[in-house]
Amino acid sequence: MLLKFTKMHGLGNDFVVVDAVSRKVYFNKAQIERLGDRNRGIGFDQLLIVEPPSNPDMDFRYRIYNCDGSEVEHCGNGARCFAKFVLDRELTHKRVIDVETKRGQIQLKVQDDGQVCVDMGEPSFVPEDLPFVAPGLADLYPIDVAGETYELTPVSVGNPHAVIRVDDLNDDIVEGVGPIVEGHERFPNNVNVGFLQVLSADEVNLRVYERGVGETQACGTGACAAVVAGIKQGWLAEEVLVHLPGGDLRIAWQGPGHSIQMTGPAEKVFEGQIYL
């Protein structure tokens, strides 16, 4: 099968996007792994598949796969690229787009400057929603990593995150602690790990070690999780500028009962085709 695709990125978090609206497309795990290989395939953090909606009130459905072939529930940077893709391909002319994902429904708003605001839904701090094994509800949870204890905030924003506040965002902690927490026995489905450095009440630095991928240049859901965790702990204000290795996102959350709003860019890199 000759596969047509578009390579895109959101702050360096890169995607291969495939139109399964105009043409039916099917992938197996081995094909996704091959496409995701940066030496023998195209290379990407996630594969995004744009599909017709199953709900008539929605405009589209989209599915998200890591480069190891595992399907994930949500991707904030991917959602922004999705919005740009369907407009560029003239699959819609709407500037407000309602989309089905594995985790539920989201709404994307394309602004006049090309930035995309994503309604990411409400976060959950309930351990069972990630899931995370804990004896009960707490503000911070200690976790043992190679003989050292770290305190984390578990957050579900459609996919699972563990947020750890640090004073220094060095490689040792991200590359050393990240993979251990990702696969820790207290996270039965693994977890995305965010390392948060608070600069002020409205500005932070963040690095994210994503499950099934490793550290990425940017993680939209990770930025949302880090900010809402910081707001919950009293470290941050309701709107925060998040500096990621690939660039900046603006995250806003007014507290329980409100959705998280994430705003940032999306870019097309190139279009291509490859035989599967």
Interval 36-60: pLDDT, tens: 999 999 999 999 999 999 999 999 9
Identify the CA nearest to 108 among candidates 209, 215, 165, 100: 100
Tens of pLDDT, residues 164-191 = 999 999 999 999 999 999 999 999 999 9
pLDDT score of 7 more than 80 = yes
Q: pLDDT tens-digit profile of 97-109?
A: 999 998 788 999 9
Residue 158's pLDDT is what?
A: 87
What is the phi/psi pair of residue 184, to 5°? -65, 145
Average pLDDT value for residue range 11-30: 94
CA atoms within a 13 Å half-sphere pointing along the CA-CB vector of 16: 24
Per the omega criterion (within 30 degrees of 0), is the bond before 131 cis? yes
For residues 191 and 127, the answer to whether their CB atoms sit within 8 Å is no
Set out the domains of the chain in order of their start, with CATH numbers.
2-121+265-275 (3.10.310.10), 127-258 (3.10.310.10)
The residue that leads in pLDDT, 85 or 26, is 85
Q: Which residue among 75, 81, 117, 224 is the active-site one?
A: 75
Binding residues for substrate: 13, 46, 66, 76-77, 159, 192, 210-211, 220-221
Return the pLDDT at 123: 96
Q: Is the pLDDT of residue 212 over 90?
A: no
The stretch 147-166 carries a mean pLDDT of: 96
pLDDT for position 104: 84
pLDDT at 4: 96
Phi, psi of 251 (to 5 degrees): -120, 135
Q: Is 81 a catalytic residue?
A: no
CB 182 within 8 A of CB 223: no
* pLDDT for position 73: 84
Nearest to 117 by CA among 86, 88, 76: 76
Give the mean model confidence (pLDDT) for residues 206-231. 95
CB atoms within 10 A of CB 219: 34
Q: Would you list which residues are annotated within the binding site?
A: 13, 46, 66, 76-77, 159, 192, 210-211, 220-221
Query: Of the ranges 69-73, 142-146, 235-239, which is most confident?
Result: 235-239
Helices 76-88, 220-232: inter-axial angle, 10-degree rounding = 140
Choosing from 67, 81, 219, 224, the catalytic residue is 219
> What is residue 276's predicted lDDT score, i.e. its pLDDT?
83
The yes-or-no verdict on residue 220 having pLDDT over 80 is yes
Tell me, yes or no, if 117 is annotated catalytic: no
Mean pLDDT of 127-152: 94
Q: What are phi and psi of 51, to 5 degrees?
A: -125, 160
255 DSSP 8-state letter: S
Residue 213 has pLDDT above 90, yes or no: no
Q: At a CB cut-off of 8 Å and minimum separation 6, what does 78 contact?
A: 10, 13, 15, 46, 48, 62, 64, 220
Name the residue with higher pLDDT: 11 or 212.
11
pLDDT tens, position by position, 123-139: 999 999 999 999 989 99
Question: What per-residue confidence (pLDDT) applies to 74?
Answer: 84
